[in-house]
Amino acid sequence: MEANEIELRCTIELLAKPKDTATDALKKILSNIEENGKKLEARDVEYGEPKKVEQDFFSAFATFKVRSDPTTIFNFILDYAPSTVEVMNGGDVRVSIADLQGILNDISGRLNQMDSNIKMFSAKTVILSKENEELKKTLGNSKNK
């Protein structure tokens, strides 16, 4: 392992339908990690058997290791949001002020974007709920005529 690298063991989980697509979707995600990260390689990959959870959806997971510099690791975690992260090795990891500032700005920006998305979806849900109630009333009134 090179100086200033962190090695993680991670798990990524997903829901898929039908069952056959679960492991294929995980393989595609792991392939994307390697393509997008360029400094990341998913190693020691283990796939769990997909399990039915509800309404024909299947829960599947993959556990794997990645190793890279702190900035690449932080970006990987922000991009792929693994459900578990275990630091395997790391020693004395150093991050420059410029890299730390970039990481913190990325985190802040993504949190703000998520907050904005949540507010937008919440507002849309309220609007759709009101429209649904109005439609029910309209349909109910037309049936009573």
What domain count does the chain have? 2
Judged by DSSP in three states, 132 sits in: helix
Angle at 85 between CA 34 and CA 114, to 5 degrees: 80
59 shares its domain with 81: yes
27 shares its domain with 71: yes
- Quote the percentage of the chain above a pLDDT of 90: 40
With cut-offs at 50, 70 and 90, classify the pLDDT of residue 74: confident
* 42 within domain boundaries: yes
* 89 within domain boundaries: yes
The CATH number given to whatever domain includes residue 30 is: 3.30.70
pLDDT at residue number 124: 95
pLDDT at residue number 45: 93
* 1 within domain boundaries: no
2-11, 22-31, 135-144, range with the lowest pLDDT: 135-144
Phi then psi for residue 5, to 5 deg, are -110, 150
Q: Which of 94, 113, 130 is the last residue of a domain?
A: 94
**What mean pLDDT do residues 79-91 have?**
86
- Quote the percentage of the chain above a pLDDT of 70: 94
100 shares its domain with 89: no
145 shares its domain with 75: no
| CA 86 – CA 70 distance, rounded (Å) | 14
With cut-offs at 50, 70 and 90, classify the pLDDT of residue 1: low
72: containing domain: 6-94
| Between 34 and 66, the higher pLDDT residue | 66
Q: What is the mean pLDDT of the chain?
A: 87
**Angle between helices 70-80 and 20-37 in degrees, nearest 10:** 150
111 shares its domain with 87: no
With beta carbons less than 8 A apart as the criterion, state whether 10 and 88 touch. no
pLDDT at residue number 37: 57
37 shares its domain with 66: yes
In terms of C-beta density within 10 A (0-12 exposed, 13-18 middle, 19 or more buried), how is residue 73 classed?
buried
86 shares its domain with 121: no
